[in-house]
Each structure stands twice: as C-alpha cells, then as structure tokens.
Amino acid sequence: SPPACSSVKGATGHSLGASGAVEALISALALSKGVLPANTGCVNPDPSLGIVPLMKPEMRTIKRALSNSFGFGGNNASLLLGSAGPGGNGNRPQRPAGFRIISSVWCGAPGVRPIPWEPAGAIPMDRIDSMLSPKETRRLKRLPRISLALAEAAVRNAGGKNPASVYFGTGWGALSETGDFLAKLFESGEQFSSPTDFVGSVHNAPAGQIAIKYGSRGANLTFTGGGHTFEQALLALSLTGPPLPALVIGADEYHDALSPLLDGAVSGDAPQGGGALLVTAPDEGEGPLISPLYLAYSLDDGAQCRALAARLASHRPAGGYGAVFAGIPDSLETRGREQLDRILSMYNYTGPVVKYRAVTGDHASSTAAAAAMACHCLREGSIPGILSDGAESEGLKGRGILVLGLGGSMSAFEIVP
C-alpha cells in the first residue's frame, strides 16, 4: 500500500522560504510523537491522482518520513528523516581544508576602470546574451541571464565539466522580475499581477535555472541578504560536503528604481555583475585552493577587527600572502578604510592592497568577481597595473591572495596556489 500522504500548508499557511523548514520540523515531530497530520481543508480528493491523502490525524508509529519541498524557479528538494536509533559511533566526515578551483569567470559593469581580461576570465556585460540560447534570452530577464552566462563560461573553461551542486549568493535577487511584478500589481489597483514575474522574482530562481540546465542533482542552495552572500555560499559549501564539482556563484543586477532603495552601498553608473567558481576536492586537479576564513555581523568594529585579525594570525603568517584584495563599498569608505587599517596593523601585513570594487563595480556580489580575478592573478603570478593603480606589483612569488569584505560586516577567504 502507498505511504500515508499529507500536506500541512492548509494548517500552517504558506511561509514562503520557511515552508521547507516548517514541514521538516513537522515531519520530525510525526516521527517522535507518532502522530500523522491530516490535510487541512481537503474535502474531495481527486481519485485519478492515485494517492490517498489523510483526511484526519492518525496515531501511528513510523520509522521514516519524506518531506518534499517543491519551489518556484526549479528549486526542489526532498529530505528523508528517520527515527532515532540507539546511537551512532559519533564519526563525522572531515571538512576539507579547501576546494580546488578548476574554473573561474566574472563579469562586471561598470567599474571605475574597465576589466581587460577576456575571454578566459571576464565576460563583458554586452556579451552575456551571446553565451545563452535564444530560448533562454527570450524567456529570462537580467539576473538569471547573468547567472546562466557565468555558469556557462565556467563550464566551458573547465572543458564541459558540469556542476553536480550549485551554491548561489545574491544580495538582492531578481530585481527586474520584482519590479515588473509590483508595477503590474499597482497599475491594476492591486487586482492583477504577472505569475511569470512572480515565479522569476524568488531569489533562488537563477540557481534553479542553472541546476536544470546542467542536470545538477546535488545540493542547490541560495543565500541572500546584502554584500556578503557569496561568502555565505562559500562557507555553506565547506560545511555541507556536497557532490562535486560544485558551482559557487554570486551575481546581482542593477534596477533603476529598486537598487537605490534596497542597497545603500550602491554607487556608480548602474553597477552589476558577479563571478563564478567551479570547484572540486582539494586532491583533484591543479588549480588554486579557496578556503573561507571568517564571516561575522557585528556593530562593534573594534571587537570584530580583533577577532578577524586573530583568525588570520592563527591560520597563516602575514608574509604568506602576496596581496590583499579589500572590498569597501563607496558609501562606507571611511568606516571600511578604518576597519582595513586596524586589521592589517594587528595582523602585521604590509604588502600590496587592491580595492577591487573600483574595477568590479560597487554591487553586492563584487566579492565573487574579486575571487575570480584573484584566480587570474595567481595564474599570472602578479597583480596587473589595472588593479594596483598602474603600479606593477613585485610579483606574488608563489604566495596567495587574501580577500576581505568590509563595511557593515566583515568576511575573509583566501585563494592560495
């Protein structure tokens, strides 16, 4: 006989991004309490579906529960929960020290200075559509186009190696779809809206499009909420140990009406873009290694600077880095510069510092572009003058690059040979 079938949204309502978590919790409670929830509001189930939904709660001992979350934009997940046994041996898989970067790409426009490296490292914004099929450019708007173009370039540069997992960070999501959805809603006196724009406006839609295109059946996670979402995606990658290779990507678009309202850090002429890294296990391939080191949100700059400097000192001597890439939003320049000076002073770092937002553009996913640029610099063995205000560096001499995100919060990750 088929397993018991229940949907709890009739009782809980639709909590959007929290729905999966709520339903997983209810599944766990069903396992532990032996109570199967009913389908609230279900009166006449369709017999042609071939399933028999629970019409009222049942008391029953079960050993396993399958919690399904089918979301907009192609992001679907199924979580299998089992009842607790007598206890395990406590062994957990070891977190990898880092991930091997087998491909890196970025796009950005416009920064203070143009990005000169292409096609291996950079995709000009006006070439995004050339990376996609006519079907994709016809039905998708700006952010999914940027994201799919980055993914396609990363896959091509890796010799066609498709990602098994996708980790996506976006500061503000698909603003074109959100703006169009709201405009149609308000223009109709809040009576009509666009279902297509609504589906595309959810923040995980671009990651879903990537997974669909490449048949990625591993983890598919989206992180959103400001200027450190690429770092959130990178940290989650290191914590979850997904099927590899994995695509770690950050992308954001500029919207004339919404960007100035949402992102106080936005400055310049319509900054947008992002970066993508295709990574695998540290013992595979020959590319550089990327490792997350620090991510924290705090209003106490002094304590946060000390904590970040201490984390860096415990991990690698300052002389182990040939350059520091610092991301300081233009609107937070004074605060970010003070943070940078304090951290580097406590860390005893005296080498070259590159303020990468001048090149990537001042947008939420500029750190993702900076990560790809750092990979390029490691391949070349030096920091080009375009990044160092025309002054050629003395060369990295086999040392890595430390990437710092500063301003309202702080982050750090390294890319080393």
So what's the pLDDT on residue 117?
A: 46
Residue with token string 């300052």: 318
User: Which residues sit opposite 165 in a β-bridge?
Assistant: 246
So what's the pLDDT on residue 359?
A: 82
Task: DSSP letter for 17, please.
Answer: G
Please spell the DSSP secondary structure of 265-324, one letter per residue: T-BSSS-EEEEEEEEE-TTSSSS-EEEEEEEEE-S-HHHHHHHHHHHHHHHS-GGGEEEE
- Which pair of tokens denotes residue 64? 């396993």
- Report the C-alpha dihedral over residues 407, 166, 202, 331, rounded to 10 degrees: 10
Residue 373: which of 269, 286, 284, 290 has the closest Cα? 290
Q: How would you class 7 by CB atoms within 10 Å of its CB: exposed for 0-12, middle for 13-18, buried for 19 or more?
A: middle
Q: Is the full-model pTM beyond 0.85? A: no
C-beta separation of 276 from 372 below 8 A = yes
CA dist 57 and 40 (Å) reads 10
Please spell the DSSP secondary structure of 215-275, one letter per residue: T--S-EEEEESSTTHHHHHHHHHHHH--SSSEEEEEEE---TTHHHHH-TT-BSSS-EEEE
C-beta separation of 414 from 402 below 8 A = yes
Helix (H/G/I), strand (E/B), else coil: 136: helix
So what's the pLDDT on residue 382?
A: 85
So what's the pLDDT on residue 392?
A: 53
Q: Where are the beta strands (DSSP E) in 298-408?
A: 321-327, 353-355, 400-405
| Cβ neighbours, 10 Å, residue 357 | 30
Q: What residues of the chain score a pLDDT lower than 50?
A: 88-90, 92-93, 116-120, 390-391
Side-chain half-sphere CA neighbours of 30 within 13 A: 26
So what's the pLDDT on residue 391?
A: 47
Residue 402: which of 337, 315, 326, 304 has the closest Cα? 326
- Which pair of tokens denotes residue 74? 């192609």
So what's the pLDDT on residue 119?
A: 36
What is the Cα 75 distance to its own chain's centre? 14
| Cβ neighbours, 10 Å, residue 64 | 11
